[in-house]
A and B are shown apart, each in its own frame.
Chain A
C-alpha cells in the first residue's frame, strides 16, 4: 500500500491525500471498490473522496478543508478496507463471472 503525504494544493488551498492499494486481480480490486464506494462521507461538505480502479490497484484520493476531517475520513476508510480485505480472504476468492 502506498500513500502520499497530506499536502495542501497550492491552487485550491485544499489538503490532499491519496492511497494506492494493490489487489491480486482486477476482479478483487473491483469488488473492494464496489463494497467501499456506496456510503458517502457522513458530514456534508468540507471533504471529498474519489475511488478508482486501475489494473488491479484500488486508488483513493481525498480532498479536504481541514486536517482533522481528513484524518477521521482516512482512518475510518482504512478500518473499512481492512474489513473488506479480511472478508475476501475468508469467503473468497470471487466465483467466476
Chain B
C-alpha cells in the first residue's frame, strides 16, 4: 500500500501499531496479571495469599492459592483492559527466581494461553521486572537500584548490557528478616507484615541497640534476626521496652545498613539517581532515610507506591515488552521455571 509523503494514521491504526504485552507473576505470595501497551498500564489485578499471624507462607499452600484464583485474575485483567486475546502481541511470565510450586502454576497458564492465542512466550527474570517497572513509572534514566523484598536484597547498577550486583545480602533478605520478626511477636500478615511493622514503628520511642552488619558492599540480616528474637522474649516479658520500640529499632538499623551500601555504590559509579524497588521499597521510612542521603549528595530519589513496588503482573509485562521489542524469542521447551536466577544472568538487550 502506498502512503502519502507525510504519513497520517487513524486512531485504530495507531493502536494496532502499539505493542501489547500481558505479564503473569506468581513467584511468592502474590499472584498478579497485568497488561501494558507501550508504557501504559491497562490493567494490573492482583491477589495476596495471607497467612495467620505467626505463620509464613509455604510453597505448596501458596501454589494452591494461586491455582484457585489465577483464571479469575486473568479474566479481570482482560476485562479491565478492555482487550480481547487477539489484541495481545506477547505473553510474558516469571521464569524465576522464586518458589518452585507457585512459579510452575503460573507458568502453566501462561504457556497454555500463549499457545491457544498463537502468541510468542517470554520468560522474565523477576528482579529485572522490578527494575524495568520502576524505571517506567519514575522515568529514572540510569539509577543505582536498591531492590529490597521478602526474597531479595541487592544494590544494582547497569553497565555493559547487564544489571550488575554491587552488593547484596549474604544470608536472608531484609524483607524476610522483617517478616520473621513479625511472626515472632505475632504481628498480623494483613495486608503485609512489613506494613504493620512500619505502622507500629511510628509509635516507638526507645531505640534498642541491635547488631549493625555491613560487610564491605554486602549486608547480613540473620544475626540481627536471632538477636532481636532473643531480646524481644526477654525485654517484652520484663517490660523493658514495648513491641513498638523493637519495630522502630529494627527498621532504623536495617534501613541504615541499606542506605550505607546504596551510597557506597553511588560513589563507585558516580551516580546521581537512586531507584528503590521491591516490596520493602514502599516503606516510607526507608524512602525518607534514603531521601536524606540523596539530598546530602545532591542526588535524586525515585520510588513507587504499593501498586508497583509490591509484586505485580504489569512489571513482568513491562520487562517482557522491552525483551519483545528488542527481538528476544524463547522456544516453548525452554520455558522451564527456575528457583535460582540471578539478576546479572540476563543480557539487557534493550539498553545501550
Q: Decide: B108 and A42 in contact? CB cutoff 8 A.
A: no
Q: Decide: A94 and B105 in contact? CB cutoff 8 A.
A: no
- A88 proximal to B (CB < 8 A): yes
Kindly list chain A residues whose C-beta atoms are within 8 Å of the C-beta of B104: 39, 80
Tally of A interface residues using CB under 8 Å: 24
Q: Decide: A35 and B111 in contact? CB cutoff 8 A.
A: yes
A92 in contact with B116 given A37-B333, A38-B334, A83-B67 (CB within 8 Å): yes
- A46 proximal to B (CB < 8 A): no
Q: Decide: A38 and B332 in contact? CB cutoff 8 A.
A: yes
Tally of B interface residues using CB under 8 Å: 26
Q: Decide: A97 and B108 in contact? CB cutoff 8 A.
A: no
- B211 proximal to A (CB < 8 A): no
Complex Cα–Cα for A3 and B299 (A): 65
Interface string of B186-208 (1 = CB under 8 A from A): 00000000000000000000000
Interface string of B114-156 (1 = CB under 8 A from A): 0111100000000000000000000000000000000000000
Kindly list chain B residues whose C-beta atoms are within 8 Å of the C-beta of A95: 86, 116-118
Least Cβ–Cβ distance between A97 and chain B, in angstroms: 7
Complex Cα–Cα for A92 and B74 (A): 13
- B337 proximal to A (CB < 8 A): yes
Q: Decide: A80 and B108 in contact? CB cutoff 8 A.
A: yes
Q: Decide: B111 and A34 in contact? CB cutoff 8 A.
A: yes
Q: Decide: B116 and A93 in contact? CB cutoff 8 A.
A: yes
Kindly list chain A residues whose C-beta atoms are within 8 Å of the C-beta of B67: 79, 83
Find B74's partner among A34, A42, A91 (CB 8 Å cutoff). Answer: A91
- B234 proximal to A (CB < 8 A): no
Find A87's partner among B86, B113, B333, B337 (CB 8 Å cutoff). Answer: B113
Complex Cα–Cα for A89 and B74 (A): 13
Interface string of B63-79 (1 = CB under 8 A from A): 00001001100110000
Complex Cα–Cα for A42 and B111 (A): 19
Complex Cα–Cα for A97 and B333 (A): 19
- B112 proximal to A (CB < 8 A): yes
Q: Decide: A87 and B334 in contact? CB cutoff 8 A.
A: no
Complex Cα–Cα for A39 and B107 (A): 9
- B335 proximal to A (CB < 8 A): yes
From residue 92 to 116 of chain B, which have CB atoms closer than 8 A to chain A? 100, 104-105, 107-109, 111-113, 115-116
Q: Decide: A84 and B332 in contact? CB cutoff 8 A.
A: no
- A24 proximal to B (CB < 8 A): no
A83 in contact with B109 given A38-B333, A42-B100, A91-B85 (CB within 8 Å): yes
Q: Decide: A90 and B335 in contact? CB cutoff 8 A.
A: no
- B336 proximal to A (CB < 8 A): yes
Complex Cα–Cα for A92 and B113 (A): 8
Q: Decide: A83 and B116 in contact? CB cutoff 8 A.
A: no
Q: Decide: B111 and A38 in contact? CB cutoff 8 A.
A: yes
Complex Cα–Cα for A83 and B102 (A): 13
Q: Decide: A94 and B118 in contact? CB cutoff 8 A.
A: yes
Complex Cα–Cα for A91 and B112 (A): 9
- A45 proximal to B (CB < 8 A): no
Q: Decide: B333 and A94 in contact? CB cutoff 8 A.
A: no
Q: Decide: A83 and B115 in contact? CB cutoff 8 A.
A: no
A-binding residues in B (CB < 8 A): 67, 70-71, 74-75, 85-86, 100, 104-105, 107-109, 111-113, 115-118, 332-337
Extra 20 A-B pairs, beta carbons < 8 Å, given A38-B333, A42-B100, A90-B75 = A31-B116, A34-B332, A38-B111, A38-B334, A39-B336, A40-B336, A83-B105, A83-B109, A84-B108, A86-B71, A87-B71, A87-B112, A87-B116, A88-B112, A90-B74, A91-B71, A91-B85, A94-B115, A95-B86, A95-B116
